[in-house]
Amino acid sequence: MNKGSWAFLNPVNWPIWVKIVVLVGAGVLTLALPMFMVVRTATVDNGIDSAESYIQLNGTQHLVAVNSLFDDAKIAFDTFLGDQSVQSRHIAFLTDATETARGQLETLYDTRLLNPASTIFDEIRLLDPDGVVVAAQATDAAADTTTLGLNQSRTNTFRAATAAVAEGRAHTLTAASTGNQPALEVIHVITRRTGEPAGYLIGRIDNSRIQSLLAETSADYPVTTFLISQDDVMFAPQLADDALMPSRSLGAVRALNGQSGVQRYQQESGAEVIGYFAPLTGTPLGLVSEVRVTDAAARAFDFYNARSFVLVAGFAALASVLVAALLLLNHTLTPPLHRLRQASQALAQGDFDFAVPDSRRGDEIGALASSFVQMRDQVQTMVQMLEARLEARARDISATQLISQFAATQRDLQSLMDNVVSLLIERFPNLYHAQIFLIDIEGKNAILQASTGEAGKQLLARGHRLAVGSISIVGQAAAQKRPTIARDVEASRLHHKQQFLPETRAEMAIPLIFGEQVIGVLDVQSKQKEAFAPEEADVLQIVANQIAVAIQTARLYEESVRRLVQIEQANRQATVRAWEEYMREQQQDALSSRAGHPSDEDLSALRKAALATRQAVVGQLTERDTLPIAVPIQIGGAVLGAVEWEIPAADFNEGKLELAKELSNRLALGLENARLFQESRRAAERERMVNNIAARLAAQTNISEILQTAVREVGQALKTPQVSIRLHGADGIGTNGKSNGNGNGNGNGSHPTPGEKN
């Protein structure tokens, strides 16, 4: 049996309009009372469902409105404190508070933050870092009490402000109770240039604004919307006597736990409600919208009761109308839902441009479609931001890897620095100038060694330098051993303005540290204010660390090369001196040998060329069709002489030339080995001779005999015709009072060598 042909019998597979027709037809065939009960139950359920949809839409709208209010409050503070003069006046006042300055600030608050035509605040307070109110201003409606001089360091507001500083945030929002009234306050941290908090500007949002936003604008359901904090501080509109009272219900708990949605639950009073709950991002608050289930059911019952007589009077006609209405409803609901399903599937596949025409409708379907479009736009924005961040991070990593690879392979220090600053400009689009300073030997000055562009050439030509610890970004970075950033050079007292770099708007200097020593500074500049975000600063710090290691490596390499050259030069000089000594001992200026038939060619010039160039030299073709060549004889880099050949031109090739070089090398090795062997023999002979003389001297006990033996043995050993030894007293006179002579018995002696007379 083909199951596909019977699949239509399964009601689950029926289209909605078929299900509606069958349902209504079955109802018509039943008794009126069961039909009434079914319709009544369906009406109640539809009323509950409608109430859930309505409460979700209502809660979403209130959530957007409240968030917009908070954003307006933050924007008002940002605009107010974004004025540099206002910021400076606050910092100056917090540093040295005077009554005149306080009055000026309070006037500013009145005109710019508490303007009745546009303000959302009813009170502005300025706290110093210890939590004391040093300036305050309120609207006429809120001017009953003054807080000036109060210590609010133990309040939730001050604790929230200090927590924002610890987390690196400029804004925060807190809820507190002032007497019996809830207070929602926006806090802006006022920081010094050093990053330390100078004080806190606090604005209390007017409760009437919050109540108007939370007030119910529709009479469809008696909905209660309120804000609640972890400390059970509640913000709610003016409620009627029979209104649903706000409480810490399940919806409030879930909203404060960061959850959002629509759910049925019971309040603490026992009333069952339909509640929408959601957290307010970036605030300690949750938003809750609730309606009693009984109110939703009562509205459904009212609808049913108002029309029950029509059902009784014309059951059949109503059934037909109901079928038509339901079919029309199906035709109204199904296509939009189908289109929304298609749009959801397209979104899952990455298509953000699928058309959703139902978002222009004014009913719930339109609201649902509009919410979907907003959600899709937010998802697209988030995806684009993530892609941009990933692209930037990939670019930074690629640039870091490229600079690291180049630094690891470069050994010339100047080439290393020149290429690194060029790579920085090429790989980081936010930079337009980069330069490297190296600290001098005394550690007092940072001297420019590499710079980019025409400005860099001019600075290098001038020998640009900055003192370590001077009032400059480079000087401070070198002295403090930490990065120094001026995101707005016009407001920075450390920026050292250069006439060659007039477009600089932001500057960052990173010390190049190897071990515990600062060896230089990497200085980068940008044309954009507020450049060098933390992520980019971290990447540049990594690059600076790699540059420091590369510079130290290049220095060590240059030092090793220099020392190697010195060692090679010393070895060559030692070899040359040894051979010069050897030639002097041989009493010859040169040693030479010939083989074969000497020609009348003068090879001295060729030999001199080989000695001068330390390379094999090939002469011109001779009349005998031979090629003269000369190859230097080298030992340890020292040239001892040259070997000369004449090779038939027909047999000459590179192989013969290489063979001549190898023979010359072997000859040099043999000569050196022979010289070393002769030196070792001479050293052994000297040692033997010294030992023999010492033995003969040790056998004598008389001083005169020792002297006679000494002059005789030394003369024979040195082969000298005359050797004399004379011992002197303190004044040059012998013990007998006469001048000492040779051959007497006073301890002096002389001895002629064999064949000579004394």
**DSSP-assigned states of every residue in 163-206:** HHHHTT-SEEEEEEEETTEEEEEEEEEEE-TTS-EEEEEEEEEP
pLDDT of residue 754: 47
Let me know the angle formed at the C-alpha of 708 by 715 and 690, rounded to the nearest 5 degrees. Answer: 50
Query: How confident is the model over 479-509, as pLDDT tens digits?
Result: 888 898 888 888 888 776 777 888 888 888 8
- How far apart are the C-alpha atoms of 169 and 692, rounded to whole Å? 95
Would the pLDDT of 14 be above 80?
no
pLDDT of residue 611: 74
Tokens representing residue 463 in the block: 């020998």
Average pLDDT value over all residues in the chain: 78
pLDDT of residue 33: 61
- Residue type present at position 543: V
pLDDT of residue 641: 77
For the stretch 170-177, contacts whose Cβ atoms lie closer than 8 Å and that sit 24 or more positions apart, written own/partner, are: 171/74, 171/77, 173/70, 173/73, 173/282, 173/283, 173/284, 173/285, 174/284, 175/227, 175/229, 175/231, 175/233, 175/235, 175/284, 175/285, 176/231, 176/233, 177/231, 177/233
The pairing of strands 171-178 and 133-138 is unpaired
Query: How confident is the model over 509-538, as pLDDT tens digits?
Result: 889 888 888 889 998 989 888 888 887 788
pLDDT of residue 697: 79
The proportion of the chain whose per-residue pLDDT surpasses 90, expressed as a percent, equals 3
pLDDT band of 179, cuts 50, 70, 90: low
Q: Residue range 309-328: average pLDDT?
A: 64
Would the pLDDT of 682 be above 80?
no
- Of the ranges 64-73, 138-147, 623-632, 707-716, which is most confident? 64-73
Query: How confident is the model over 182-217, as pLDDT tens digits?
Result: 888 899 999 888 888 989 999 888 888 888 888 866
Would the pLDDT of 6 be above 70?
no
Three-state SS at 218: coil
pLDDT of residue 24: 65
- How far apart are the C-alpha atoms of 723 and 412, rounded to whole Å? 62
CB 523 within 8 A of CB 507: yes
Which residues lie below 8 Å from residue 489, measured CB to CB, with a gap of 6+?
Answer: 495, 497, 504, 505, 506, 507
pLDDT of residue 701: 79
Single out the residue of 518, 436, 438, 442 nearest to residue 481, CA to CA. 518
pLDDT band of 37, cuts 50, 70, 90: low
Single out the residue of 139, 147, 136, 101 nearest to residue 120, CA to CA. 139
Q: How many CB atoms lie within 10 A of CB 445?
A: 17
Single out the residue of 125, 166, 133 nearest to residue 152, CA to CA. 133
Query: Length of the chain, please?
Result: 758
Would the pLDDT of 746 be above 50?
no
- How far apart are the C-alpha atoms of 634 and 612, rounded to whole Å? 12
Query: How confident is the model over 549-574, as pLDDT tens digits?
Result: 888 787 777 777 778 777 766 666 66
- How far apart are the C-alpha atoms of 309 and 306, rounded to whole Å? 7
pLDDT of residue 471: 86
Q: How many CB atoms lie within 10 A of CB 61?
A: 16
Domains of the chain: 49-299 (3.30.450.20), 357-391 (no CATH), 410-560 (3.30.450.40), 604-682 (3.30.450.40), 700-752 (no CATH)
Q: How many CB atoms lie within 10 A of CB 70?
A: 20
Report how far apart, in Å, the C-alpha atoms of 276 and of each of 80, 236, 262, 266, 291 are: 36, 15, 4, 13, 9
Least confident among 317-326, 420-429, 609-618: 317-326
